[in-house]
Structure 1
Amino acid sequence: MLQRHARHRQRQIEAQIASLDAAIEALVAEDPHLLRRRDVLASIPGLGLVTAHALLADIPELGTMEEGQTAALAGLAHITRQSGTWRGRSFIQGGRAALRQALYMPAIVAMRFNPDLKRVYDRLTAKGKHAKIAITAIMRKPIILANALLRDNRLWAPKSA
């Protein structure tokens, strides 16, 4: 009986998620400006529609900021603790937590399947950086790229050699 209830609840949740996705898609489709911004964000490898919608909702300033501001607003900028000659460890804090959460899974996927970002991750871990620090660096890259692409109003294109 518990398994039947769990399956029923899972179907309910899946239907609610599908309904929300459709509502979000309809809202974005109504506004040509939002639609273009969503298309620019979704063109970045590793950022899907869910992440693009999260970025549109959580950081509407995207495309108008400088690199450091983007990372700080996302809560992914390094903050160094130091006083005089004493130096503590750097950490990230502040920013928008929902944005950090939206960027975490795309960063994990990118670190495994995007060759450029995999090289960055491998280089950082080879230098002795903790895995979480390397993942944070990977999370920072797409948000900075998204800001630059939205500023220039262009889709992502692979680098030509």
Structure 2
Amino acid sequence: MGENNAFLSKEIAKENKKLCSSSLKAIDTDLAKAEKAIDQLIQSDPQLRRLFDLVTSVPGVGKITATQVIICTNEFKNIDTAKKFACYSGVAPFKKESGMYKGKTMVSNMANKKVKMLLHLSALVAIRYNQEIKDYYRRKVTEGKKNKMSVINADRNKLILRIFAGVNRDREYEKNYAKLVA
């Protein structure tokens, strides 16, 4: 509501805030009820709860992103590989080429924008709080070969790969994973 203060007089802005406050409270109440219902649904189904725990074990992936990933993949039944989900969410780059023409590599604009936005926010959180991804981001940006958005896109892809690795192996994300050599 504060954005109107620069355009409206103080009296009109105050009246506007007064008129809209009950609607905003009702929306907040409805959102809280919806979130509670989603949480109860996840907790009531053991398979759904297990998938939710696996997805949220990846650093940077929160409750909302995990819920959206589980919904979009139909509990990882319809989209079962990281590559398919990266294409679906608009993270996978495609080369623009035809015959002799070699264009730039770009991501598809026919992606699920909501999932892409949630993955973007998760990548920003991971860059900020996950040391491994933070180091990767800094290294790639300082190399100067890639701009920041393409590096964030690579971080989104890393999150997708980690989510699907955990779900396909039925294991939570391990920060210090050591591969067993037989």
Normalised by the length of structure 2, the TM-score is 0.79
Report how far residue 53 of structure 1 moved.
0.8
> Whole-Å Cα distance in 2 between the matches of residues 37 and 113 of structure 1?
23
Match of 1:15 in 2: 29
1:20-77 per-position Cα deviation (integer Å, ceiling 9, x unaligned): 1011112212211001000111111111111111111112363873443332232211
Secondary structure of the equivalent of 2:91?
coil
Match of 2:56 in 1: 42
Report how far residue 124 of structure 1 moved.
1.9
Q: Any conservation in 1 of the 2:89–2:116 contact (CA below 8 Å)? A: yes
> Whole-Å Cα distance in 1 between the matches of residues 27 and 153 of structure 2?
30
Larger Rg: 1 or 2?
Answer: 2
> Whole-Å Cα distance in 1 between the matches of residues 173 and 18 of structure 2?
45
Matched AA of 2:83: G
Alignment of 1:75-90 (within 5 A): 75-90=90-105
Alignment of 1:58-69 (within 5 A): 58-60=72-74, 62=76, 65-69=80-84
Q: Which runs of 4+ in 1 moved over 4 A?
A: none
Q: Structure 1 stretches of 5 or more lacking a match? A: none
> Mean alpha-carbon deviation: is it higher for 64-73 or for 15-24?
64-73
Equivalent residues, number: 161
Match of 1:122 in 2: 138
Match of 1:150 in 2: 167
Matched AA of 1:65: D
Secondary structure of the equivalent of 1:40?
helix
> Whole-Å Cα distance in 1 between the matches of residues 27 and 101 of structure 2?
51
> Whole-Å Cα distance in 2 between the matches of residues 44 and 25 of structure 1?
19
RMSD over aligned Cα atoms: 2.0
Percent identity, aligned pairs only, is 25
> Mean alpha-carbon deviation: is it higher for 36-45 or for 8-17?
8-17
Task: Specify whether residues 97 and 155 from structure 1 end up closer, same or farther in structure 2 by C-alpha distance, changes over 3 A only.
Answer: same
Normalised by the length of structure 1, the TM-score is 0.88
Matching residue within 143, 147, 150 for 1:133: 150
Q: Any conservation in 2 of the 1:43–1:156 contact (CA below 8 Å)? A: yes
Report how far residue 16 of structure 1 moved.
1.7
Matched AA of 1:52: A
Q: Structure 2 stretches of 5 or more lacking a match? A: 1-14
Match of 1:97 in 2: 113
> Whole-Å Cα distance in 2 between the matches of residues 46 and 73 of structure 1?
20
Report how far residue 83 of structure 1 moved.
2.5
> Mean alpha-carbon deviation: is it higher for 121-130 or for 142-151?
121-130
Report how far residue 160 of structure 1 moved.
5.6
Higher relative contact order (CA 8 A, sep 6+): 1
